[in-house]
Structure 1
Amino acid sequence: MDRIKNLVIGSGPASIATVKALQDIGQEVEVVDVSYDLEDDIKYQVNILSKKNVDAWTQEDKDKLFPPPAASRKGLERRYLFGSDFPYRVPKPLSITTKNCNTEFSHGFGGLGNVWGAAIMPYSESQLANWPISLNELTPSYKNVLRYMPISAEIDNLNNKYPLFPNNFTAIKRNAPTDFLLKKLKAIESNLQRNGIEFGRARLAVDASKGEYGCRYCGHCFDGCPYQSIFNPKYLFEKLQKDKLTIHKGLLVLEIHETSQGVDVIAVDITNSKIKKITAQKVFLATGQFATTTILARSLNLLNTPIKIKNSQYFFFPLFLYKGYRYEIEFTLAEIFLEVDNPNISPEQIHLQLYGRSQIIEEQLTSLLPTLFPKQVALDRLYVIQGFMSSEDSDSLELTLTDKHSDSSSIEIRGIENTRAREIAQRTQSLIRRSLIRLGMVPPFFLTVLPPGKSFHLGGSFPMGGKHEIFRSDFLGRPAHFKNVHITDSANFPDIAGSTIAYTIMANADRIVRSIGFNG
């Protein structure tokens, strides 16, 4: 194989942003990834369903592609794509054990972009305070990402601190309870602001237009979108493949080494366990926090060396409205965002997302209600609030490479407790209760704080601007001791904000590529 000019490892959000930026500035690029994918029979069924209007779907169609979710009082166990677990499959050459945490890799084609909640917010200036770059430096890349990723949003108070970068956009239609909630919040807006709370319509990577990929309001957003209305890197990569982008699939990258000839990428073929070497002028690590850290641990021979990973802790609690609404489930992603910036709660910002009815929430609710409580009465009044805290307020993790062979790796991921996490989640819930209860909204005392890693908002093992001799990277995402290797996923984040993460991962990847200054 001839030497590749630019090789991107991975196929998730960081990877697609890296590839798009490289192509945009005229650079040749190829991709290497494991790329587990939907089973052929499911692809066939999805293709058939995508050609039908929602009202033409049969119950048999739905049963095949949208099986009941596995959810409990502890939250959603796993989200599948059309009933397939391919986003979570682990290649045999990789052995993973976990302790005191709940997290997973993704080696699926499209990465965790197959099963994300599509919530997108830029980081604010204060959330970038520990970064070696400013919001002004990142803003052009936020704009670049929205050239290929759709956004559903409304102009509201969130725009003051979190600008909407496109000039034209549409919004997912409001259902009755969402409209009720927004109007109620507007009525006490000044009081909320005094308590450090801003609110607005959820911003989502969803096509809300009436075009080819516009949302059809089928109500199965969490199960898989046959119409490709929800942004998924997998679909964009499939289009790029048709335009001759080379993707080397079925390869698990083990390690990388710089030589005078370039960067050698050592991978194992997951079908036959054979070792393959690919040489590139530049390599971009965009495999996701855990996989990137594992590759660098092997490459730097950091055997039995714990590597700290920062985590944004995730919690949730229900919200009941006094007034009930009986409505069809047409859209199940987040409806409203609340941004909490209150020093009495935490020095760090907290991001809240409000969700209405869905199969997942109904399953969770059923596990919470007393046996004889009328389920429909509760469902007509239910929202769920999902919160994310900054890494400063959250449990963290440690990844340790425990063993390595020429064709395999073993790692352990361990959760490290931060005693502040539950306390801050409780303070946040209490603030929301005090703020909303007189409006006919009641957040009960029930609160679930999920184990570290469950939010998938992770990063910081090789932070930009870090001071450690090894565990750091520069503002171009280059790990210490590498010149032509660039981290373009969240492994280079200095910290993890209490916010959404994928949008900033993609924007930072775009920024890094455009800042390199290629020769030739």
Structure 2
Amino acid sequence: MPSSIIIGSGPAAAAAVLALSEKPDEKITVFDPGTVLDAETQEVISRLSKLRVDDWDEEDVRRVSLQPKQVQSDSLPEKRSYGSDFPFVNKGQLDGVHCEGRVNSAVISSAYGGFSNVWGAQIMPFSAATFRRWPFDFSDMEEHYRTILGHIPFAGESDDLEEWFPLIGSPDPLPPLAPRTQMVLANYDRHRDRVRSTGITIGRARLAFSAPECQPCGLCMTGCPQSLIFSASHSFDRFRRSGRIDYRSGLLAVRVDQEGDTAVVHARELSSGRIQRFTADRVFVGCGPIGTTRLILGSLGSDQPVHLSESAQFVLPMMSMKPTPDPRTRREFTLNQFNMVIGEDDEGFDVSQIHFYPFNQAYYDALPGFLQHPAAAFATDRLLSRLTVGLGYLPSWASPKVRVTAQMSAAPDELPQITLTSEGFSEAKVKGKDVPPMLPDVIKRIRRAAPYLDLWPVTPQMLWSGGAKSYHFGGSFPHASERNTGRATTDRLGRLARWDRIHLIDGSVFPNVPATTFTLTVMANSHRIACEAMELTG
């Protein structure tokens, strides 16, 4: 019986299992640390999921809607999932991970479902132009995009974004949009030619959530009580219920290798510290870009620094002249509602993308203390009725890189120590802040379109995230036409020159990371790798 091992339970791992499970006789073993939400909170979610929103208990809602926690004063706060930090809990996967300077340290998840427990649910394919820098093209990916979009919930609508980012599949329409979103979309339709002349395209969000079942409650960003937002854990729950996989939690992979035609994994049992040895015909490594990088560097015994490409993140508040009704009095879905793509070319390659979110409690919590005082209520009301927040990304070739330096352990079954450093771009300034040189042009284009969209960038309040904070990173072992030991590249099946039975399936194999949404391509590429691997003999 052919056999495969999947390391990890995030989106890449889920997509690989989806492909492998199509082979009826394939024995599939999946393992990871498997941290989950505590049982008491799960009971609260179960109660809420069975009731109408109007019937929810206030204490239950308070418990599962704790806001993100500020970990670094000059960066975005760390999201919570139903009030819990379980996606970020260290179960050994972060031991020995060090950061220099302004770099995010919570870069490897121990959670069942990985960081998809706290993602923004945004799904668009990469543009065809992006794949011209890869050893395969969009046509090789399209069927896998389609398969993934058929596997996960999908909401979105046809609009101008399709020119570069095809609307693959049959999405459900989005729930009713917030008043500010409706105004911006109407302004864009009214002044489309003028806005497009600035290089800006506006379109509705595309989201991995079950829109038809949505009862708007304003809790999307802290955890949907109806569990309508896709998590890779949902896929694994299905695979486990069907008996299609052998899932084992409480294990941390520390080495991979190949002996003849057999792939080997050594994993530490977290409860006892004991090392277990697993073998299979093939191993698919989906620990997330930095988790995979660390595991592979240790397995290769390599202390040569590698660089990850990152689509760097920024937060840009926008103000509007025309107010909307007080958003605090409305219950809406609070995921991203519309996208702004700012293009510097005519093929959808050199673009920045900004996702716009309607009001949620985090807006209010981020206001200066004096604006939260009752005496400032008049000013605060008017501010919130005009405020929109955009979460933006630059492409990796216009962003700092993250250098990963490994120090090998003397023990054979220990992961190496790694140090993460942000480096490698010429600085420009926006309102005195050091930023990559592409960002001033992005701001300039937004300002030119502002009179038509009634969205004015508030650059003094712009926040530039530190290294590895976007979670859109990879490319430590990029796909290449030919594997190169010196540059540590992988072939189209995610294999390094040293092994032909070990496949890297997450963002670690991306040749570049565009500014557009990340996870759908992670899943589609993993699905492609697993499908093509099954076609190999032996």
1:202 aligned onto 2:205: yes
Matches within 5 A, 1:39-78: 39-71=38-70, 74-78=74-78
Residue 95 (structure 1) aligns with: 96
Any conservation in 1 of the 2:315–2:391 contact (CA below 8 Å)? yes
Give the Cα separation in 1 of the matches to 2:473 and 2:165: 21
Give the Cα separation in 1 of the matches to 2:504 and 2:222: 31
Residue 275 (structure 1) aligns with: 275
Larger displacement relative to structure 2 (91-100 or 483-492): 91-100
Deviation at 1:394, TM superposition (A): 0.4
Residue 432 (structure 2) aligns with: none
Residue 416 (structure 1) aligns with: 423
Deviation at 1:497, TM superposition (A): 0.7
Question: 4+ residue stretches of structure 1 with deviation over 4 A?
Answer: 367-373
Code of the residue aligned with 1:333 in structure 2: it is L
Code of the residue aligned with 2:451 in structure 1: it is I
Deviation at 1:140, TM superposition (A): 0.4
Secondary structure at the residue paired with 1:77?
coil
1:246 aligned onto 2:253: no
Deviations 1:177-196 (CA, angstroms, capped at 9, x unpaired): 21111000111211222222
Deviations 1:435-468 (CA, angstroms, capped at 9, x unpaired): 1135433222222211111100000000000645
Code of the residue aligned with 2:137 in structure 1: it is S
Secondary structure at the residue paired with 2:150?
coil
Residue 477 (structure 2) aligns with: 462
Deviation at 1:133, TM superposition (A): 0.8
Q: How has the CA–CA distance of structure 1 residues 168 and 296 changed in structure 2, closer, same or farther, with 3 Å as cutoff?
A: closer
Q: How has the CA–CA distance of structure 1 residues 368 and 273 changed in structure 2, closer, same or farther, with 3 Å as cutoff?
A: farther
Give the Cα separation in 2 of the matches to 1:224 and 1:500: 20
Any conservation in 1 of the 2:485–2:497 contact (CA below 8 Å)? no
Secondary structure at the residue paired with 2:77?
strand
Structure 1 counterpart of 2:147, from 128, 144, 147: 144
1:116 aligned onto 2:119: yes
Any conservation in 1 of the 2:312–2:396 contact (CA below 8 Å)? yes
1:293 aligned onto 2:284: no
Secondary structure at the residue paired with 2:436?
helix
Identity rate of aligned residues, in percent? 28
Residue 228 (structure 1) aligns with: 227
Give the Cα separation in 2 of the matches to 1:338 and 1:269: 46
Q: How has the CA–CA distance of structure 1 residues 367 and 498 changed in structure 2, closer, same or farther, with 3 Å as cutoff?
A: farther
1:443 aligned onto 2:457: yes
User: What is the RMSD computed on CA atoms of the aligned residues?
Assistant: 2.2
Code of the residue aligned with 2:286 in structure 1: it is A
Deviation at 1:493, TM superposition (A): 0.5
Secondary structure at the residue paired with 1:340?
strand
Q: How has the CA–CA distance of structure 1 residues 473 and 366 changed in structure 2, closer, same or farther, with 3 Å as cutoff?
A: same
Deviations 1:268-313 (CA, angstroms, capped at 9, x unpaired): 111111111001110001110011101110110013x211111111
Larger displacement relative to structure 2 (4-13 or 462-471): 462-471
Give the Cα separation in 2 of the matches to 1:14 and 1:54: 33
Secondary structure at the residue paired with 1:290?
helix
Structure 2 counterpart of 1:394, from 391, 396, 399: 399
Give TM-score, length-normalised by structure 1. 0.94
Any conservation in 2 of the 1:461–1:492 contact (CA below 8 Å)? yes
Give the Cα separation in 2 of the matches to 1:306 and 1:367: 44
1:380 aligned onto 2:349: no
Residue 431 (structure 2) aligns with: none
Deviations 1:16-71 (CA, angstroms, capped at 9, x unpaired): 01101111243331201111111111112211121111111121111211123335
Give TM-score, length-normalised by structure 2. 0.91
Q: How has the CA–CA distance of structure 1 residues 500 and 48 changed in structure 2, closer, same or farther, with 3 Å as cutoff?
A: same
Deviation at 1:408, TM superposition (A): 3.0
Give the Cα separation in 2 of the matches to 1:470 and 1:276: 31
1:189 aligned onto 2:192: yes
1:178 aligned onto 2:181: yes
Residue 333 (structure 2) aligns with: 331
Any conservation in 2 of the 1:109–1:234 contact (CA below 8 Å)? yes
- Matched length: 512
Give the Cα separation in 2 of the matches to 1:370 and 1:65: 23
Give the Cα separation in 2 of the matches to 1:129 and 1:347: 9
Larger displacement relative to structure 2 (235-244 or 179-188): 235-244
Residue 352 (structure 1) aligns with: 354
Deviation at 1:108, TM superposition (A): 0.5
Matches within 5 A, 1:508-519: 508-516=525-533, 517-519=535-537
User: Where does structure 2 lack aligned partners over 5 or more consecutive residues?
Assistant: 428-434
Code of the residue aligned with 2:401 in structure 1: it is S
Secondary structure at the residue paired with 1:117?
coil
Larger displacement relative to structure 2 (110-119 or 417-426): 417-426
Larger displacement relative to structure 2 (454-463 or 294-303): 294-303
Any conservation in 1 of the 2:67–2:361 contact (CA below 8 Å)? yes
Secondary structure at the residue paired with 1:147?
helix
Give the Cα separation in 1 of the matches to 2:278 and 2:342: 47
Q: How has the CA–CA distance of structure 1 residues 464 and 140 changed in structure 2, closer, same or farther, with 3 Å as cutoff?
A: same
